[in-house]
Structure 1
Amino acid sequence: MDNNLLRFFTLMDGQGYPVVKEAPRFDLDMYIGNYKGRTRFDRLILIGRSCVPLCIDALKAAIVDAKKGRDIQRYKEAVDCLQIAAPLEPEAVLDQAWINQKEAENKDITNRLLTELKGYKNNLIKESIRMGHEDMGKHLEATGDLNLAAESFMKMRPDVSTTKQYIDVAKHLVRVSIHRREWSMVTAHLSKLQGTAQLTDDEEKQLSAYMRIAHGIAYLGQEKYLDAALSFLEADNVAPTVYNEIASPNDVAIYGGLLALAFMNRSELQTKVLDNVKFREFLELEPNIRRAVSQFVSGRYSACISTLEAYRTDCLLDIYLQRHVKTIFQQIRNKCIVQYLIPFSRVSLDTMAKAFGSPDQPIEDELADMIKAGTLQAKIDLIDRLVVTMSANQRAHMQNMALKTAKVYERQAIDRLNRMGLVAAELDIRPLTAKFSAMRGMMTQQGDRMNEQLENVV
């Protein structure tokens, strides 16, 4: 690593970005081709700030992508990064002429859209007003003013007249909220799409897939990992153009597979992941994730961890997964260790180190941390270098079950005694006898005849 890159990544490390020294498994051009919209730049700039092998290529691609749009601030951001990482690259020179041109164009477009919108409001044309707010929102989003863009999209709602227009408004707001990382707003906007009527089967399937994936991303951002896993696992494999402004089919496979592996048990992994016909189509795009899940289900825990560790670099370069990688991978590792120890009463530390050893932390320290956290019920014998598992106290478990059964029997006995007391005091409600029912019928008939006689007299 040369001095410029060293200085750049030292700065990025200070800003909280992980420094990834290994090259990822994906090709940058093919990877970024799966996305459209603002998420393309977000992913490129993140790779440029985090990945040493792809830093310069990603930053240069981010500059090219920024110049295709109208967001001047994003262009300056990418150029500033490249000036530190590779100041001799031609793209590292700020194109002031392009900036001046885009500033003038953005100003002209804004003034034109405001004038048109004002005319629509004066003429009280609802459809034109809606389209005017939509055009203004898209323009503001393209220039990077996400706050005003969200306000413009919100102003579309009073003039919505069809189901498609209602869905479009919600999608605009969801997309902007995701870019702003306002996860609670994402779920709030998505909730308004539930139960949307007047859709064909194909439209409903596409909307459902979009909602599942957007919900999963929002839950992931809120650290609701199990909810996120269930959302991704229930998504239908529709055309990627339905949701490629926020994710790709490969992302759905990675997010759903990793989160399920971390927070579901073996039977759930088999039924909800491997046997899930809809999600299987996503998993075929990421065979490593499918292999890791299969290895865990079949009890090959060491192989499962090895497969995932080879995938850690790719996950660290994902805009949604990056800050959750440590938590998710540690949860999977803890599950593998716990499952590995279940059949044994004691295992040597050398065997554990061979199966789960990590260069970052000795296995005994990791086991001690798990025991302190309550994740693992075991003891460590450092003299004999053994891990002694602690089986559940069967006597205490049986006593607790007996106490629960006694409490249930006592409650039922009291209820029956109370019922017997009510019956003895004749305070219970009894069904009508046949004699009483006949008498009530005769009285009703007499009353009807009297009413008829009175009507005749009148």
Structure 2
Amino acid sequence: MDTLPDPVGSSQMDIETSQAGGTPEVANSAAKPRVRAPVRVEEAPKFDLDTYIANYTGRTRYDRLYLIGTCSPSLANEALKAAIAEAKASKDIIKYEKAVRALSEVAPSDPEATLNSAWVQETQRSVNAQTERLEGELKGYKNNLIKESIRMGTEDLGNHYYRTGDLAAASKAYSRVRDFCTTPNHITSMLFKMVSVSIERGDWLSVQSNVHRLRNSQSKPEDAARNEPKIAAAWALAQMQQGAFLEAANSFLAIPADLGDSYNEVLTPNDVAVYGGLCALASMNREELQRNVLDNQSFRNFLELEPHIRRAIAFFCNFKFRPCLDILESYRPDYLLDVHLQRFLPQLYKRIRTKSIEQYMIPYNRVTLDAMAKIFAPSVIGGEAKPTDISSPFVQELIGLIQDGVLDARIDMEKGLLISNQVDLRSEVQRSTLENFREFNQEAHWRILRAQVLYHGLEIKSDKKFGDGGKGARFSREGAGFD
């Protein structure tokens, strides 16, 4: 089977067409063509496709449907048909062709798996005519030198490019709107459109740049408060996409609870709970998770939408690592079909598992490999003759963590133990306590001795007239160290 394209990039055929001098609409359909082999998710997800996709609006609906259709065999037919309908509704010819090609791979006999050339040609003529009309109107506005008309005409042209999939042209059009903005609301609207285009193109540095500009815009306090949830969500998503999981977790946790459905063209409150919860699990220790996530009143509103994430975090905080990992594993198919999570999910899950092993070892100086295998590799118990043998995957995982410096420990294969090399905290506390007790006794002894000397009048004071360094200076017990 041919390699299918990335849901937000261009297929190899699109790239070749662009290089061969295809139509401008094809050549400019994606700013950064990327081809990546799809992840095949054999297990059916827990969500219902219609209910899931109904939560989103705009172009992200197609991206999510296309990803599901190319990765999930059980939902491929339904998702790709819905993706074709989305592409046709937006008059995006490139995405329509991609979805049809993908559907022809999984259901060749389906009527919709055949490219509708008549629709493509008619839509192309309609798009070209609309482009010419909008460009003509904009040219007239520029001749009349009416600043507001120029702004609106340029924005309409950018909206047209964005709807039809010409993201590079849309980005250029929106950037030109800035010169004709006359109010803070105009600037804010333009920047949000730039953020949407950048997210669609996968240009996360541009997303962060425009979010900075949004936060520095001179909006009214009530407008700034209304826009803050969307700004925070875009910023957190960009950090996650760049692999800064701790920073992304803190940003997701700081998103105001009134986000609601105001940013469904990018993500939903459910996504905030999942993205924020997973990033926090992958980057925070138990105390930080309890304080910053579970005790966070604002983020709790998001967690209530995804109670399994809250349960997984609670289990982690309570040292119940097996139930935590089981919950995450049961939702792996759902997350592998998420357009923003798929790329990072293996890395996030690996970090969570590694942190679980680290946290498990904290209270112990040594622990048996059998006990650890029951928690972190239960599937191999009974399935392998020697699940804790040196050649077993679990033991090799521990060896890798030790070699990478993640675990400060050593393995005693003869006794089947993982022995920590860290300082025995109990012995250290006992030694420190005894040292403090010795110092206290010594100090008490000198104070009692001093008090007895004063009580019996044995203190000898120096004669002031001779001076401290004079020849006739008298001996003083104060100088002898009785203080």
TM-score surpassing 0.5? yes
Q: Tell me if 1:301 matches 2:321.
A: yes
Return the match for 2:209 from 168, 178, 188: 188
Decide whether the 8 Å contact of 1:45 with 1:62 is kept in 2: yes
Find the aligned partners of 2:73 and 2:355 in 1 and give their Cα distance. Answer: 32
Alignment coverage as a number of residue pairs:
391
RMSD: 2.2
Task: Give the partner amino acid of 2:327.
Answer: T
Aligned to 2:437: none
CA distance in 2, matches of 1:82, 1:239: 35
The amino acid that maps onto 1:101 is E
CA gap of 1:234–1:11, structure 2 versus 1, over 3 A, is closer
What SS does the corresponding residue of 1:388 show, helix, strand or coil? strand
Counterpart position of 1:149: 170
* Distance (Å, rounded) in 1 between the aligned partners of 2:377 and 2:5: 32
* Equivalent residue, structure 2, for 1:377: 408
Give 1:10 shift: 9.6
In 1, Cα distance between the equivalents of 2:221 and 2:48?
A: 38
Counterpart for residue 281 of structure 1: 301
| Native 8 Å contact 1:44 1:59 kept in 2 | yes
**Equivalent residue of 1:155, what SS?**
helix
1:65-112 Cα distance to aligned partner (Å, 9 max, x none) = 111111101000000011111101121121122111211110110000
Q: Does 1:94 align with 2:115?
A: yes
SS in 1 for 2:139: helix
The match for 1:410 is none
Match in the other structure for 2:249: 229
Instruction: Summarize the Cα distance change of 1:359–1:148 in structure 2 as closer, same or farther, 3 Å threshold.
Output: farther
Instruction: Report how far residue 9 of structure 1 moved.
Output: 8.1
Q: Secondary structure at the match of 1:26?
A: coil
What does residue range 27-426 of structure 1 map to in structure 2 within 5 Å? Answer: 27-201=48-222, 203-357=223-377, 362-392=393-423
Quick one: which amino acid aligns to residue 392 of structure 1? V
Distance 1:172 1:272 in 2: 32
**Residue 200 of structure 1: CA displacement?**
4.4
Report the CA distance between 1:199 and its aligned residue.
2.3
Residue by residue over 1:121-152, the C-alpha shift from the partner in whole angstroms, topping out at 9 and shown as x without a partner, is 00001101001110110111111111110000
1:261–1:332: 8 Å Cα contact kept in structure 2?
yes
Q: Tell me, yes or no, if the aligned pair for 1:9 and 1:50 is still in contact at 8 Å.
A: no
Counterpart secondary structure, 2:257? coil
In 1, Cα distance between equivalents of 2:212 and 2:2: 42
8 Å CA contact 2:230, 2:259 repeated in 1: no
Structure 1 residue 331 displacement after superposition: 0.6
Cα distance change of structure 1 residues 11 and 239 upon mapping to structure 2, 3 Å threshold: closer
| Displacement after TM superposition at 1:396 (Å) | 11
> In 2 relative to 1, CA 9–116 (structure 1 residues): closer, same or farther, beyond 3 Å?
closer
Q: Which shifted more, 114-123 or 215-224?
A: 215-224
Deviation at residue 59 of structure 1 after TM alignment: 0.9
SS in 2 for 1:192: helix
Q: Which residues of structure 2 form unaligned runs of 5+?
A: 7-34, 381-391, 432-483
Contact 1:219–1:227 (Cα < 8 Å) also in 2: yes
How high is the TM-score relative to the length of structure 2?
0.77
Given that residues 302 and 336 in structure 1 are in contact (C-alpha distance below 8 angstroms), is that contact kept between their aligned partners in structure 2? no
Q: Is the 8 A contact 2:58 2:265 kept in 1?
A: yes
Please tell me whether the aligned partners of residues 72 and 99 of structure 1 are also in contact (alpha carbons under 8 angstroms): yes
192-201 vs 132-141, greater mean Cα deviation: 192-201
3-state DSSP of counterpart to 2:418: strand
Q: Is the 8 A contact 1:37 1:245 kept in 2?
A: yes
In structure 1, runs of 5+ residues without a counterpart are 1-6, 399-458
| Amino acid aligned to 2:121 | N
2:186 alignment partner, SS class: helix
Residues 205 and 236 in structure 1, CA contact (< 8 A), matched pair in contact too: no
Report the Cα distance in structure 2 between the residues aligned to 1:358 and 1:80, rounded to whole angstroms: 42
Q: Which amino acid aligns with 1:291?
A: R
Q: What letter corresponds to residue 344 of structure 1 in structure 2? A: Y
The answer (yes or no) to whether the contact 1:206–1:242 under 8 Å persists in 2 is no
Q: Distance in 2 between matches of 1:378 and 1:306?
A: 26
Cα contact 1:136–1:149 (8 A) shared by 2: yes
Q: Is the 8 Å Cα contact of residues 261 and 269 (structure 2) preserved in structure 1? A: no
- Change over 3 Å in CA distance of 1:358–1:38 after alignment to 2: farther
Letter in 2 for 1:174: V
Within 2, Cα distance between the matches of 1:153 and 1:269? Answer: 40
Q: Hey, what's the Cα distance between the residues in 2 that align with 1:10 and 1:252?
A: 28
Contact 1:9-1:19 within 8 A present in 2 as well: no
Q: Which has the higher helix share?
A: 1
- 1:261 is paired with a residue whose SS is helix
Amino acid of the structure 1 residue aligned with 2:41 = V
Pairwise CA distance, 1:358? 6.2
Q: What TM-score do the two structures reach when normalised by structure 1?
A: 0.81
Q: Percent identity?
A: 43
Question: Would you say the 8 A contact 2:65–2:82 is kept in 1?
Answer: yes
